[in-house]
A and B are shown apart, each in its own frame.
Chain A
Amino acid sequence: MARPAGPFPASPARPRVAPLLLAALAGTFALALWTAEVDPRRLVDPRALSHAGRFVAGAWPPRLDPEFLRFLARPVAETVQISVMGTVIAVIIGFPLGLLATASLAWRGILHERTLGRWVGFVPYALARALLSLFRSIPEYVWALVFVRAVGLGPFAGVLALGVAYGGMLGKVYSEILEAVDPRPLEALHAAGARRWGVALYGLLPEALPHLVSYTLYRWECAIRASAIMGFVGAGGLGQQVELAMRMFQFDEVLTLLGVLLVLVGAVDLVSGRIRARLAT
């Protein structure tokens, strides 16, 4: 006998998948623990401790003599320049691709309600999306290895690596920001006979600009950190000095370099944070 229909709908059957899902999660965790060789005992192993002790003993006091500090000016400047140029190239790559990858601009939405050939816009859209995901799915350090092979050791390889990897990220996020813009003012421009570029110039971009700039500055903060590290694969900057000092067991220099890096990253965060706070209004 079916139950009489009450005033409320019957509550849905409790899903049976939860225990299964939980078991799968536990299995994955156990497997990861084993294959990633997670073993806390190795941290307190006497050999490991003596290695660490040697590093700490060698690192203190950090090397702060004027000669070394003067020498550092160049790698510091190089790191900043790599990050700035890398971000500029990332914008040059990411902005046009981001526009193409914006669905509302390329083929979907009110601008295309009536155009027959809207599938024409879909091809560049799909290509731009594919290119952007290729650029950003390969980490900047791997790109740096590739470009070191192509253009040789030095900052230019780092600049190109940042430009390509961050171009992919910027383009993806730009397109998401542009798609989130309120479509109603855009519809008004379109209804008055504006072409697509008119809608973009007088509606889309002004509305999105603070978000676009803010995200670009945030990427620049990341670029400073990345450009410092990219020296490890020979792409210039502070990272290259860290790598050299490590290899020469000059741990006092390593400590100075890490301190400089900390100050540099902090300063960039501060500057970019200030600008972004002002943009938010």
Chain B
Amino acid sequence: MPGASWVYELAEVRKAFDGVVALDGVSLAIERGEHVAFIGPSGAGKTTLFRILNLTLAPTSGTLRFDGADVAALTPGELRRARRRIGSIYQQHNLVGRLRVVHNVLAGNLGRWSLATALASLVRPRELETAARALAQVGIPDKLYARTDELSGGQQQRVAIARVLVQDPDVVLADEPVSSVDPALAAALVALLRDLARATGKTLLVNLHSVDLALTGFPRVVGIRQGRILFDLAPDKVTPELLELLYAGSAPEAQDVAALRPGAVAFGKACRPLPGFTR
């Protein structure tokens, strides 16, 4: 069956908000089980693409197929079942701060639970072992009953990952999951996401602010600029010239790219010397 192994197929997807174009004709196919990193300057449309891929936003035009089905043709019920199969991790602010960690993690079950179960679980948490196991997997087993807004940014991101583990989707989408934590922790969290996805055979799509993390951790890197795909390559094919083109005109990221050259100090030290970055 042709196309049976594609999780996502996008053809000329456009998205405009009140006339402002965020995505300008994106065509892309993602295979089941693939790990893909998306990079590009702020405002390039990465987050819009992420919200289209997790079926929160509908494209203005173009077609989006999820698991072979045209998303525009799905009924509300089918759409909800499709969303259940996609786990999302956001940059920040995606947990309910006033709820205890256990409820935020168990909220991954909301796509399956009945109203009665969901209500009962708020009083006496259901499937406690599932929640505890997920928290242990992300390395914070002792935070089960902590109030979520009392955790650090990195710990909250781990809770968000644990919620996705409980949801147990086929696809994991992460939108700049580590741009609000320090570089060492960022590398650890991205590695955690990769390991968890590989262990369960999930497709993993990550928007990354850090070129370093994208090039060192992902077999496929997509560069997005001004709402279009600039390149879609294996990391060793991503040349410094391409990166400079990708970030041209956006000062902070251009600096990050410069810092990746061997010889430049900065925290790029930990990463491997990139091919092509010679003096």
Could you say which of B76, B87, B122 contacts A192, with CB atoms under 8 Å apart?
B87
- B83 and chain A: residue at smallest CB distance: A193
- Chain B residues contacting A201 (CB-CB under 8 Å) are 118-119, 122
The majority secondary structure among interface residues of chain A is helix
A194–B121 Cα gap in the complex (Å)? 15
The range of chain B's interface size is: 35 or more
User: Out of B94, B99, B167, which one reaches A202, CB within 8 Å?
Assistant: B99
Q: Write the chain B residue with the least CB distance to A198.
A: B110
Flag whether B55 is at the interface (Cβ < 8 A): yes
Could you tell me how many residues of chain A have their Cβ less than 8 Å away from some Cβ of chain B?
Answer: 27
Given A114-B79, A191-B86, A202-B118, A184 contacting B110 (CB threshold 8 A): no
- Contacts known (A193-B111, A198-B118, A202-B107); A188 close to B88, Cβ less than 8 A: yes
Do B83 and A198 touch (CB < 8 A)?
Answer: no
CB contact list, B135-185 vs A, under 8 A: 160, 163-164, 167, 169
Contact call A192/B94, Cβ cutoff below 8 A: no
Contact A185 B94 (CB under 8 A): yes
Point out which of A184, A185, A197, A210 has the most chain B C-beta atoms below 10 A from its C-beta: A185
CB contacts (< 8 Å) of B164 on chain A: these are 192
User: Are B96 and A202 in contact, CB atoms less than 8 angstroms apart?
Assistant: yes
Q: Which residues from 87 to 139 on chain B have a C-beta closer than 8 Å to any C-beta of chain A?
A: 87-88, 90, 93-99, 103-104, 107-108, 110-113, 115, 118-119, 122
On whether the beta carbons of B111 and A194 are closer than 8 Å, the reply is: yes
Q: Are B56 and A197 in contact (CB under 8 A)?
A: no
Residues facing A in B60-98 (CB within 8 A) are: 76, 79-81, 83-88, 90, 93-98
A206 — which chain B residues lie within 8 A by C-beta?
Answer: 96, 98-99, 103
Interface check B48, CB cutoff 8 A: no
Q: How far is the CA of A127 from the CA of B19 in the complex (A)?
A: 33
Q: Does A203 contact B (CB under 8 A)?
A: yes
- Minimum CB–CB distance for B210 against chain A, Å: 22
Specify which chain B residues have a CB less than 8 angstroms from the CB of A207 in the assembled complex.
Answer: 96-98
Q: Which among B55, B56, B97, B110 has the highest number of chain A CB atoms within 10 Å?
A: B110
**Is the beta-carbon distance between A190 and B76 smaller than 8 angstroms?**
no
Please give, as numbers and ranges, the residues of chain B lying within 8 Å of A191 by CB-CB distance.
54-56, 83, 86, 88
B254 at the interface (CB under 8 A from A): no
CA distance A201 to B55 in the complex (A): 21
Interchain CB contact under 8 A, B90 and A184: yes
Question: Is B56 touching A190 in the complex (CB atoms < 8 A)?
Answer: yes
Per-residue 0/1 for A174-203: is the Cβ within 8 Å of any B Cβ (1 yes, 0 no)? 000000001011011111111101100111
Q: Which residue of B lies closest to A202 (CB)?
A: B107
Q: Which of B80, B83, B99, B107 has the most CB of A within 10 A?
A: B107
What 10 A-B pairs come out closest when comparing CB atoms?
A: A193-B111, A193-B84, A194-B110, A198-B110, A188-B94, A193-B83, A184-B93, A202-B107, A191-B88, A191-B54
**Could you show 24 A-B contacts with beta carbons less than 8 Å apart?**
A110-B56, A113-B56, A113-B58, A115-B76, A184-B94, A185-B94, A185-B95, A187-B56, A188-B88, A188-B95, A192-B83, A192-B111, A192-B163, A192-B167, A193-B84, A194-B111, A198-B110, A198-B118, A202-B103, A202-B107, A203-B96, A206-B96, A206-B98, A206-B103
Task: For the A-B complex with A192-B84, A193-B83 known, give 6 more contacts whose Cβ atoms are closer than 8 Å.
Answer: A114-B79, A184-B93, A187-B56, A198-B118, A202-B104, A206-B103
